[in-house]
Amino acid sequence: MPITDALVPARQTCVETLVLNSRFIATVAPAFDVEQARAFIAGIRHELPDATHHVSAYLIGHGVSVIAHCHDDGEPAGTAGRPALAVLQGSGLGDVVVVVTRYFGGTKLGTGGLVRAYGDAVRQVLAAVPRAIKIPTHTARVVAPYALLEPVRQAAAAHGGVVLDEAFAGEVALTVRFAVVRFAAFQEALRELSRGALHAEVLATDEATIMPV
């Protein structure tokens, strides 16, 4: 079964650009509610307290239920936060926050120059950030004989499983994370390859796991 959840950033990513001696440091990260987004923005401000501006934008949610916000942080109105937000809105990402930190280099960029600089900074960091999906997952345990270790690994991979741990003793205990929608198919594959002897035990369920794509 395909997974259709909307894309989110897989991890925090930072890209720096230089425009007429002004440094633009764009940092993007996942954020799943407004409080997380605000905390991330505050964290960047704390980390780089000597910067001239910290322009921010975020999108919380996906599709029709999205909270969108942007802030110019002292730049002329409409020249910074709005262009950053427009790039986010066209990226296909949700649950995302970006801060563009500017160190003024002594040369004014003008209204058009600022719009381009902030928009380009966000475009470049979005080109660099890996994508992920936020989905419900099961973390499961399979205990298998050594003769079936490789077939179990192959079955897990075929159904999108991520092996978290392998413990070797009299048999091998594998801990694997699956998207909930793919777990039943993995169970069936286990039964087929072991003639019904193997079964995956669900250890935990997480309703919002970030899984790379």
Give me 5's structure tokens: 């959840």
One domain, residues 118 and 176: no
Domain boundary at 83, 111, 129, which?
Answer: 129
Query: So what's the pLDDT on residue 114?
Result: 96
Give me 169's structure tokens: 């003793």
One domain, residues 122 and 102: yes
CATH of the domain at 112: 3.30.230.30
Distance (Å, whole) CA 91 – CA 116: 16
For tokens 């704390």, what's the residue? 46
Q: Which residues contact 3 (CB under 8 A, 6 or more apart)?
A: 133, 135, 160, 179, 181, 182
Residue 51 lies in a domain: yes
Helix (H, G, I), strand (E, B) or coil at 107: coil
pLDDT in tens, 17-33: 999 999 999 999 999 99
One domain, residues 114 and 160: no
* Residue 91, domain extent: 7-129
Q: Is the dihedral of CA 86, 88, 89, 95 positive or negative?
A: negative
Residue 2 lies in a domain: no
pTM, two decimals, is: 0.76
One domain, residues 125 and 137: no
Distance (Å, whole) CA 61 – CA 64: 8
Domain boundary at 111, 129, 147, which?
Answer: 129
One domain, residues 121 and 177: no
One domain, residues 163 and 123: no
Say whether pLDDT at 2 is over 60.
Answer: no
Residue 1 lies in a domain: no
For residue 123, report the phi and psi dihedrals to the nearest 5 degrees.
Answer: -60, -40
For residue 22, report the phi and psi dihedrals to the nearest 5 degrees.
Answer: -85, 130
Query: So what's the pLDDT on residue 4?
Result: 46
pLDDT in tens, 164-201: 999 999 999 999 999 999 999 999 999 999 999 999 99
Number of domains in the chain: 2
Say whether pLDDT at 12 is over 70.
Answer: yes
CATH of the domain at 144: 3.30.70.240
